[in-house]
Amino acid sequence: MRLGEIIKQYRIENNLTTAELASKCSLSKGYISMLENNFKPSGRKKDITPSIQAIKKLANGTGIEFDTLLASIDGEVSLIPTKEESLELILTSHEKEHLTIYRSLDDKGQHTVDTVAQMEYERVKKDNK
């Protein structure tokens, strides 16, 4: 289920208007409406991309788990962090461990990891078609 569908379902199940949900989440009514309708601004091919801060506000306002909302975003869309979030990453402990190991490698080791990661990415992408 996509982010807009989750938000709309929550709003309907809780008998909220778009304005009421927007108020609960400290977001604008128009922004909630755009999310619910997977709005595509004119001239753009992709859906709007919520910031991490907007997802946090949605999670806090609705009680829906942040990770659930984050996972509902189309894999083709990358999150755009706000200025405050530009250095903030959301990593699992497993990912942090991999990053620590990767950073300890020399250039040749990092190149090897990059090559294998790219090959695996292409394999999975091909298998999921």
pLDDT (tens, 9 = 90+) of the chain, 129 residues, equals 788 888 999 999 999 999 999 999 999 998 898 888 876 555 555 556 788 888 899 999 999 888 888 878 755 444 555 555 454 556 677 777 887 888 888 889 889 988 998 999 888 888 887
**Rg of the Cα trace of the chain?**
18
pLDDT value of position 40: 55
d(CA 13, CA 63): 13
Q: Are residues 56 and 113 located together in one domain of the fold?
A: no
pLDDT value of position 83: 55
d(CA 63, CA 21): 12
pLDDT value of position 67: 81
Contact (Cβ atoms closer than 8 angstroms) between residue 28 and residue 22 = yes
Q: Which domain holds residue 81?
A: 3-85
Q: Are residues 73 and 34 located together in one domain of the fold?
A: yes
Q: Are residues 48 and 65 located together in one domain of the fold?
A: yes
Q: Residues 6 or more apart from 32 whose CB is under 8 A from it?
A: 7, 11, 18, 21, 22, 25
The amino acid sitting at 30 is G
d(CA 67, CA 96): 17
Q: Are residues 72 and 99 located together in one domain of the fold?
A: no
pLDDT value of position 77: 46
Q: Are residues 75 and 105 located together in one domain of the fold?
A: no
* Total of domains in the chain: 2
Q: Are residues 76 and 109 located together in one domain of the fold?
A: no
Contact (Cβ atoms closer than 8 angstroms) between residue 70 and residue 90 = yes
d(CA 64, CA 128): 28
Q: Are residues 35 and 76 located together in one domain of the fold?
A: yes
pLDDT value of position 13: 92
Buried b (16+ CB within 10 A) or exposed e, 76-86: eeeeeeeeeee
Q: Are residues 12 and 59 located together in one domain of the fold?
A: yes
